[in-house]
Structure formats: C-alpha cells, structure tokens
Structure 1
C-alpha cells in the first residue's frame, strides 16, 4: 500500500478513536493529513471504503507478524504461544478504536465489509486448526474443530476483559495459560471418548471449498510480485516454488527446501510463513 494511503489510514484511526466514526467528517480527516478533500477522494471513495481499508491494513499487519513467527525454528507450542501473544498485542494497540466500534456499532453493513469479516472468520478457523494439529497431531483428529472453536472462545473471552473491562494481563503468560487449558480439553475428550458437536461435515458446510483456493491464489500472486524484482538464486528458488505449490500433489520436501533458501533473508519470512501455514509444514 502506498505511503499516502497509509498516512490517511493512520490519521483516520486516531480521529475515529477520539471522536467516533459517524461524527468524524472527511474534511477533518483531510485536514489531519494536510491534504485537500479532493485528494482524499482520489484514494478512498467514501468513509466506508476507508473503514474497510483500516480493517484490511491492520489485519494484514497481524497476519505478517504471525507468518514471520511461523518461519522461526521453534517447536509448535512455543510458536503458537508467540502467535497468540502478538495477536493480543496488536489488538491492544487499537483498543480505543475497537471501543469506538462497540459503542457506536460503527461497522456499516455493506457487501465488501461483510465479505472481509467472513474471510477473517474463515482464516481464523483454519489458523487455529492448523496450529492445533501441529501441536497435538493424531491425538486431536476426531475433535479438532470442537477444540478449535472452544479455544477461540477462550481467546475472545479474555480479549473482552482486556478491551472492555481494561484488565491488565501478562500477555505471554495468558497465552501459555490458554494453551494449557486447551491441553485439558484435549485430554478430556480422549479420556471420556466424547463425541464432538462440531464436525468436519458441519465446518465444510460453513467454509466454502473455494476459500482454500483463494488463499493459494493470494500466495501465488505475492510470490509473482517478489519474483519480478528478484534475480539470481532467489529468482530460481521462487520459480521452482511457484511451480511446486500449484501442482495438484505438491511435494512437501521440495517446498521445504525452497522455503529454507528464502528464509535466510528477513524480508521473506512473512510469505514463507504463510506458505508453511497453508501447507502445514
């Protein structure tokens, strides 16, 4: 995203947090950015479009940070705790903006925002599912979706205490505690041979099949953009990686080998983390 758009987003989020979404005018946002009202409309057609851009911008920041952690040489438990921790920390940064949305019920209903929120829900379901499978393996095969939804419920309950009630936690210790409580859930299901309410069939009805392909399309598009600017060994690595991940039966060993080459450079850790998450590597 270009710098001018990012500046508008950053200034707008401050104004929305201070004054509210509905009472903040486009002119006020333009004034804060030292641009004309006409210049604002060159970047965003409306405040609704700006609000969607804010959601997208900050959700991508969280995704990039969690993806970078995915590339680290850590055991699955440590990795997941770090990812939960950075997610909480990023949300806390924008507490005032979130409170504004709650008080005003400021999210306007339109197809673009509804589609974005749906995408984020689906992305969250799959992120938790893949992380928990990496931690518990076959032990959680039959109850993966049940545990995924219950763990997300814990995350949201603590988030309400932090955002709404202003409770201060040691965030890393809180995330370790959430995962420990998830251990109890997994052990309880296995010990009692309990049958899950949330099944694969149910979640397959909720999450459309093309959502998985859309995620892969995004990864491919990002790699193609990187390849255009790359040269030498990096260009070769990305070419091989692009060919492999688009095969009907992609070979994990080949993907891992190509990712290990890219992960030597800090700037590639975001995209390599996304690939590792998608292919559960």
Structure 2
C-alpha cells in the first residue's frame, strides 16, 4: 500500500479513537497527516470510504502477522497458540478504536462494510476450522464447524474483558489457556456424540457467495479464474504453480506456502494467500 495512504489511515485511526468517527472532520485528518485536502481526495472519495479502507488495512495487518507464524517450524497446536496470541495482541493494540466502534452509533453500515464484516467473520471461522482439523484430525469433521464457532465465542469473551473492562492478561498464557479449553470441547463432542447445530449448511448462509471457499476444489476454481483474468506475468506464474500443485496427488506444502507468501505481496490476494496457508499449515 502507498505510504501516503498508510499515513492517512493511521492518523485517522488515532483521531477516530479520540473523537469518534462522526465528530472527526476530513480537515482534521488532513492536518494530522500533513497533506492537502486535494491529496486526501486523491486516495479516498469520502470519509466513509476511508473507514472501509481502515478496516481492510487493520485486517490485512493482522493476517500478515498471523501468516508469519505459519512459516515457523511448530507443531499444529503450538502454531495455533502463537496465532491466537498474535490475534489478541492486534485487537488489544487498537482497543480505543474498537471501543469507538462499539459506542458510536453513527458509523455507516453500508453494503461495502457489511460485505467486509461477513468476509472477516467467515475467514475467522475457517481459520479455527482448519486449525482444529490440523490438531485433532479428520475424525472431528462432523462437528468441526460448530467447534470453530464455539472457539471464536470463547476468544470474544476474553477480548470483551480486555477491550471493555481493560483487564490485563499475559497474552501467551491466555492463548494457551484457550487452546487447552479446546481439548475439553473436542473431547466433549466425541464422548457425547451430540449432533451439531451449526453445520456446513449454516456456515454457507453466513458466507458471501463470492467468498465461499472452504474446500480445495473451491480454491482451485478461484485460482483458475485468476489465471484467466490477471494479466500480470508474476501473478500468472505463481498461480500456474499453485494449480499444478493442487491438482497433483500429493501437493507439496513447502511449494504452496512459498507461493502463498509471494501472493500476499499483492493486496488483492492477501485473503487468498491466507486461505492457502490455512489449508497447508
């Protein structure tokens, strides 16, 4: 992302956290960013568009840090714990801004923001699903979606204490505690044999149709569409390698994660890179 754009976004985060979205003017953002109004409107059509870009920037930043953990030589459970810690750190770092979102009723809830929230929620649930499968194996497949939503809810309960009540925790110990609680959750599902309420059909209702890619066939289809539509040679080469690997009987993790690392350099493919890493963590 252009550094001037990043500068505007980061100053906007600070101002929105201090004053609220509706009470912060474009002029104040311009002054804090030390640019002209004309320069602001070269990057953003409106303050509403800036808000959407701010959410995207925050989400990409978190995904980049999570993806960095993916490349570490850790077992699945250790990797999950480390990535939970990163998630908690990133949310806690922007505590004031998140409080502003909760308290202020004037934030525009337009179609773009709604789509972003649905996409982010789906990505989070998929993140938990793939980690749980990596830790506990395919035997949990019947109830993995429900377990993923439960883990997401467990994390949210702790984050409410951090964000709303300003309770201080050791983030690694908190992440480790959540991971240990998941052991009990999975054991309970296995022993009780209760039919899950949250199934794949429920998840599909929560997911934007353009982003419904929770199996490898969906990912492969998306990659093939990109191969046809993106003319950039470096992208085409990366996509061709990924397609070849995913079509092979034994896809090589090191190749796929390497190609995902290359893809995430392009903002439009950050989410796709994260999904690929999630499947081959």
TM-score, normalised relative to structure 1: 0.84
- Structure 1 pair 61–261 and aligned structure 2 pair: CA distance change class (3 A): closer
> Which position in structure 1 is the counterpart of 2:253?
256
Residue 109 of structure 1 and its aligned partner are, at CA, apart by: 1.4
In 1: Cα distance, 2:257 partner to 2:233 partner: 16
Residue 253 of structure 1 and its aligned partner are, at CA, apart by: 3.7
In 2: Cα distance, 1:90 partner to 1:13 partner: 14
* Contact 2:245–2:251, Cα closer than 8 Å, also in 1: no
Deviations 1:114-162 (A, max 9, x none): 1111111111111111111101112311110111111100000100000
TM-score, normalised relative to structure 2: 0.84
> Which position in structure 2 is the counterpart of 1:67?
67
> Which position in structure 1 is the counterpart of 2:149?
149
In 1: Cα distance, 2:239 partner to 2:92 partner: 36
> Which position in structure 2 is the counterpart of 1:233?
none
- Which sections of structure 2, spanning at least 5 residues, go unmatched? none
What's the C-alpha RMSD, in Å, of the aligned pairs? 3.1
* Contact 1:244–1:250, Cα closer than 8 Å, also in 2: no
1:35 correspondence with 2:35:
yes
Residue 277 of structure 1 and its aligned partner are, at CA, apart by: 2.7
Residue 195 of structure 1 and its aligned partner are, at CA, apart by: 1.4
> Which position in structure 1 is the counterpart of 2:234?
227
Residue 224 of structure 1 and its aligned partner are, at CA, apart by: 8.0
Residue 246 of structure 1 and its aligned partner are, at CA, apart by: 3.1
Residue 254 of structure 1 and its aligned partner are, at CA, apart by: 4.4
- Structure 1 pair 115–262 and aligned structure 2 pair: CA distance change class (3 A): closer
- Structure 1 pair 217–160 and aligned structure 2 pair: CA distance change class (3 A): farther
- 1:129-148 to structure 2, matched below 5 A, reads 129-148=129-148
- 1:135-214 to structure 2, matched below 5 A, reads 135-208=135-208, 210-211=210-211, 212=213
1:103 correspondence with 2:103:
yes
In 1: Cα distance, 2:152 partner to 2:257 partner: 31
- Which sections of structure 1, spanning at least 5 residues, go unmatched? 229-237
In 2: Cα distance, 1:66 partner to 1:257 partner: 17
Structure 2 SS opposite 1:133: helix
In 1: Cα distance, 2:226 partner to 2:65 partner: 19
* Contact 1:76–1:131, Cα closer than 8 Å, also in 2: yes
In 1: Cα distance, 2:122 partner to 2:257 partner: 28
Residue 256 of structure 1 and its aligned partner are, at CA, apart by: 2.5
Residue 69 of structure 1 and its aligned partner are, at CA, apart by: 1.2
* Equivalent pairs, count: 268
Residue 225 of structure 1 and its aligned partner are, at CA, apart by: 6.1
- Structure 1 pair 157–32 and aligned structure 2 pair: CA distance change class (3 A): same
> Which position in structure 2 is the counterpart of 1:77?
77
- Structure 1 pair 188–202 and aligned structure 2 pair: CA distance change class (3 A): same
